[in-house]
Amino acid sequence: MTAPMDHDASAALQEQVEQALAGNTPLLIQGGNSKAFLGRIGAGEVLDTRAHRGIVSYDPTELVVTARAGTPLNELLAALDAAGQMLACEPPAFGEGATVGGMVASGLSGPRRPWAGSVRDFVLGTRLISGTGQHLRFGGEVMKNVAGYDLSRLLAGSYGCLGVLTEVSLKVLPKPRRCVSLSLEMDSAKALAKLAEWGQQPLPISAASHDGRCLNVRLEGGEGSVAAARDRLGGEALHSAYWSDLNEQRLAFFDEGLPLWRLSLPHNTGPLELPGEQLIDWAGAQRWLKSAAPAQRIHERVERVGGHATCYTHGLLDSPFQPLPAPLLRYHRQLKAQLDPQGLFNPGRMYAEI
């Protein structure tokens, strides 16, 4: 049965949570299930958010949109695009079924992230069904309202482990007036050095990736600044589809084969020596690695430079996320105990201990 285009199903979701509480039944929260390959394999009764959908409010002049968690992400993006606006964090969908709730829960951001911010930075307010069955509201629907802001932001990247996200208010931005993509042939070491140099200069860069052969750069902004930067940097024109193909992992690099890892690194980290093939994104702060190297070796090498690694190949490891240091694990457990005291929501999805 096809869900209505706009439907408030929060009461039904709350009732399912209350029944799970009474029966002490774990719940697997999911929308379009497009991010199911991330994290540990869970077990429990499925709580499907897709019936709870629709854009609740959107006034382009306020630069804020509020949508229910089950709203298809492509539906939200289309509404913003029609008004000449965007989610500047460029969240990947990884499938047609991606939902707004899944976007926030996974907390994944696209090529613009180092310059515009992450999903977490654009969350203004949320509604959540907690592990005590309460339907709570955090934050607000305007950018100046910061009450409860930090708790709303905590839900970004929590993978449904803290509660059932039912609604989210997001900051949106106007689309840039001009966008140009360039490709410059050079090796990865020179590309990282160039990006470190350009990062100190007022260039309108909004994406930078090295594909193994070329440094690819996107320039966005006003006509004059983009034209001046294009003349200065040189290179060949690059089709703008490259960035969406990179974001959605449609490039040939991501074809199945060796295990895929996402490496998150400090800004201006130099070349990283690891066996396998690498693709550089986020001007070097994110690296994609295809490698058969042992997980421990990858974790240790990345930790040495202050980063962390996540395995993107489903089922390869029992714990795909970087193991938490003891103090951080304690904080995670305390937060889980506050919002989900019975441990019902997505148990063990991120870490076996939570």
Assigned token pair, 155: 């839900």
Assigned token pair, 72: 């298809």
327 located within any domain:
no
Do 161 and 210 belong together in one domain? no
Which pLDDT belongs to residue 146? 44
Angle among Cα 37, 42, 46 to the nearest 5 degrees reads: 95
240 located within any domain:
yes
Do 74 and 183 belong together in one domain? no
C-beta pairs of 327-332 under 8 Å, 24+ apart in sequence: 329/353, 329/354
Do 15 and 152 belong together in one domain? yes
Which pLDDT belongs to residue 180? 98
Residues in CB range of 269: below 8 A, 6 or more apart: 192, 284, 285, 305, 306, 307
pLDDT one-digit tens code per residue, 143-175: 444 444 478 889 999 999 999 999 999 999 999
Q: What is the chain's mean pLDDT, rounded?
A: 94
Which pLDDT belongs to residue 148? 43
Judge residue 120's burial from the number of C-beta atoms within 10 Å of its C-beta, 0-12 exposed, 13-18 middle, 19 or more buried. Answer: middle
201 located within any domain:
yes
Cα within 13 Å of Cα(335), Cβ side: 17
Which pLDDT belongs to residue 151? 84
Query: Percentage helix, strand, coil, to 5, in the chain?
Result: 30, 25, 45
Check if the beta carbon of residue 291 is closer than 8 Å to that of residue 261. yes
Do 23 and 140 belong together in one domain? yes
pLDDT one-digit tens code per residue, 224-239: 999 999 999 999 999 9
Do 147 and 196 belong together in one domain? no
347 located within any domain:
no
Of the pLDDT bands very low, low, confident and very high (cuts 50, 70, 90), residue 218 is very high
Do 42 and 143 belong together in one domain? yes
Which pLDDT belongs to residue 142? 52
Cα within 13 Å of Cα(207), Cβ side: 25
320 located within any domain:
no
Number of domains in the chain: 2
Reported pTM: 0.93
Res 3 pLDDT > 50: no
Do 148 and 183 belong together in one domain? no
Question: How far apart, in whole angstroms, are the C-alpha atoms of residue 16 and residue 5?
Answer: 22
Do 222 and 235 belong together in one domain? yes
Which pLDDT belongs to residue 48? 98
319 located within any domain:
no
pLDDT one-digit tens code per residue, 108-139: 999 999 999 999 999 999 999 999 999 999 88
- Per the structure, the complete domain to which residue 146 belongs is given by 10-174+334-339
Do 18 and 159 belong together in one domain? yes
* CATH at 118: 3.30.465.10
Do 185 and 157 belong together in one domain? no
- Please compute the mean of the pLDDT values over residues 36-46 and round it to a whole number: 93
Assigned token pair, 252: 């040939």
Which pLDDT belongs to residue 346? 97
Of the pLDDT bands very low, low, confident and very high (cuts 50, 70, 90), residue 211 is very high
302 located within any domain:
yes
223 located within any domain:
yes
Which pLDDT belongs to residue 42? 84
Which pLDDT belongs to residue 139? 82
Do 103 and 186 belong together in one domain? no
Check if the beta carbon of residue 112 is closer than 8 Å to that of residue 206. yes
Give the pairing of strands 55-59 and 64-68: antiparallel
Which pLDDT belongs to residue 5? 72
- Please compute the mean of the pLDDT values over residues 193-200 and round it to a whole number: 96
Structure letter (DSSP) for residue 269: -
pLDDT one-digit tens code per residue, 287-333: 999 999 999 999 999 999 999 999 999 999 999 999 999 999 999 99
Do 277 and 216 belong together in one domain? yes
Which pLDDT belongs to residue 115? 97
Which pLDDT belongs to residue 202? 94
